[in-house]
Each structure stands twice: as C-alpha cells, then as structure tokens.
Amino acid sequence: MGVRFITRGINAKLSGRLMWSGLTGPGLSVSATSIPENTAPGTTIGVAVPVNASNPGAVSIVSQTLANALVMSGANYVTGSATFDYETTSSFVVTFQYSDDSGTHQFARTFNLIDVLEGITADSILILSDSTLFTADRA
C-alpha cells in the first residue's frame, strides 16, 4: 500500500516507484517563423506569448544570429533594420527571454526567409521559345 497525493497537476504514487503526469514547464509560443525576403523594417511578423508561465513578464530578444533582424514591440516581434536577403542568409536564430515566478527562461527559435522572385521588372520582356523562358531588357 502506498501514499497517493495530488499537488498542482502532479500525480504521484509512492510505492517503490514514482510516476509523474501532467508536467509542463514554461514555454514560448511564436505565431510565425517565416519572413519574405526584402520585408521592410517595422513590419509585424508575429506575436510571442509565454505559455505555462506563472505571472510572466514581458518577452524580450536577447540575441540573434542576424544582427537587428527582429525587435519586440509589446507582444509583437517586428522587423528591425537588417536586410532580409534570401541569397545571403536563408535563416537565422532569435533567442527570446522572459521571467516569471519560477525564474528566467530563454527560448531559441529559427526563422526562415522566403525566397522572392527577383530580377524581372516592368522594363523586362518575357519571351517563350521552345518551352524555354528568357528575359530580355528593353533598350
């Protein structure tokens, strides 16, 4: 015969073994991790929300592998002054942080740039020949 107790979502039975269920630590939900290349500075990308946190503070960005890629604006993360060029950098990592009653928590998230078709302008002409696509600039 063992002792059974329930404490804040923890179910355990002490009888030579210990079983845990329902445990989840603090986390972070981000609503988007893809950004089209050439996105203008100040564009809202998504929302960062603490999950399973007790009395969480504001989310901040503590590091990123592409300098000035994102900045926090309230709960939103928006594009900073970085140049988003898929051909130069196809992804980068941002580390978010917040504190709650249980301590300070950091979460790394990978953001992927979406390649956008470039090089064809209003001054270009498309020519189809034998199923081959060509571009030619008007002179």
Continuous H helices in the chain: none
Residue range 81-90: average pLDDT? 96
Q: Please report how many Cα atoms fall inside a 13 Å half-sphere around the Cα of residue 91, on the Cβ side.
A: 8
Whether the pLDDT of residue 5 is over 70: the answer is no
What is the per-residue pLDDT across 28-68, written as a single tens digit (0 to 9) for each?
Answer: 999 999 999 999 999 999 999 999 999 999 999 999 999 99
Q: With a threshold of 0.75, does the pTM exceed it? A: no
Ordered structural domains, the chain, with CATH: 25-139 (2.60.40.60)
CA distance 80 to 68: 5
For strand 10-14 and strand 44-51, is the pairing parallel, antiparallel, or unpaired?
A: unpaired
Q: What value does the mean pLDDT of the chain take?
A: 82
Distance, CA of 77 to CA of 34 (rounded, Å): 12
